[in-house]
Amino acid sequence: MESLLAGCIGFLTACGVFLLLRGRTFPVVVGLTMLSYAVNLFLFSSGRLTLQGAAVLGTTDNYADPLPQALVLTAIVIGFAMTAYLVILAIRARADLGNDHVDGKLPGNESSRKESR
């Protein structure tokens, strides 16, 4: 279970970082979302992995650490809000700047842009 979770977190982080380094706003937003998924899984695992462990005292002998769950919940809420804001900002930037590049202008000159089409 540990290696599976570690692999998932690593794969999500790698994809997130790769997409974060792209030039258009949409891949960047998706990259940040993936990065925040990876972070959420990672935070969850910081309380150690337990199967069938209750986070409430007095029900079983096998307990899970409740604090990472609270932390993850906070991180998810904040992550959602921030992503929503970023999506709106990206749409606004598309309208204001005339393209969806993160720097507000397309790289290269007129001719190279035509070729890429």
Partner 1 sequence: MSHLIIAPILLPIFTALLIMLPPIHYSPMRRRWVSMISTVILLILTGCLLWQTQAEGVSFYALGAWQPPFGIILVADIFSVSMVCLTSVLALGAICYGSAGEDERGSFFHPLFQFQLMGINGAFLTGDLFNLFVFFEVLLIASYGLLVHAGGKNKTKAAVHYVVLNLAGSAVFLFSLGILYGTLGTLNIADMAVQVAKLPPENLMLVKSGGLLLLIVFALKAAILPLQFWLPATYSAASPPVAALFAVMTKIGVYALLRVYTTIFGEQAGPLAGMASDWLWPLGLATIMLGAIGVLASQDFRKLVANLVIISVGTLVTLVALQSNAATSAVLFYTVHSTLVCGALFLLADVIGAQRGKAGDRLVPGRRMAQPALLGSLFVVAAVSVAGLPPLSGFVGKLMILQAASSPVQQIFLWSVVLLSSLMVLIGLARAGSVLFWRVSGNEAGPERVLPLQAFALGWLLLAAPLMVVFAGPLTELSFAAAEQIRDIQSSIAIILGDTATVGDQP
Binding site for partner 1 (CB under 8 A): 16, 20, 25, 28, 32, 35-36, 38-39, 42-43, 45-48, 67-68, 71, 74-75, 78-79, 81-83, 85-86, 89-90, 92-93, 96-97, 102-104
**CA–CA gap between residue 116 and residue 13 (Å, rounded):** 29
Structure tokens at 85: 């804001």
Q: Which residue, 78 or 114, is less far from partner 1 as judged by CB?
A: 78
- In order of 30, 60, 69, 93, the CA distances from 44 in angstroms are 21, 20, 6, 35
Q: Which residue, 91 or 112, is less far from partner 1 as judged by CB?
A: 91
Q: Which residue, 84 or 114, is less far from partner 1 as judged by CB?
A: 84
- What count of residues does the chain have? 117
Contact 20, 31 (CB under 8 A): yes
Q: What is the DSSP letter of 46?
A: T
Please report how close the Cβ of residue 106 comes to partner 1 at its closest, in angstroms.
Answer: 13
Q: Which residue, 67 or 112, is less far from partner 1 as judged by CB?
A: 67
Closest residue by Cα to residue 34 from 19, 44, 24: 19
Please report how close the Cβ of residue 110 comes to partner 1 at its closest, in angstroms.
Answer: 20
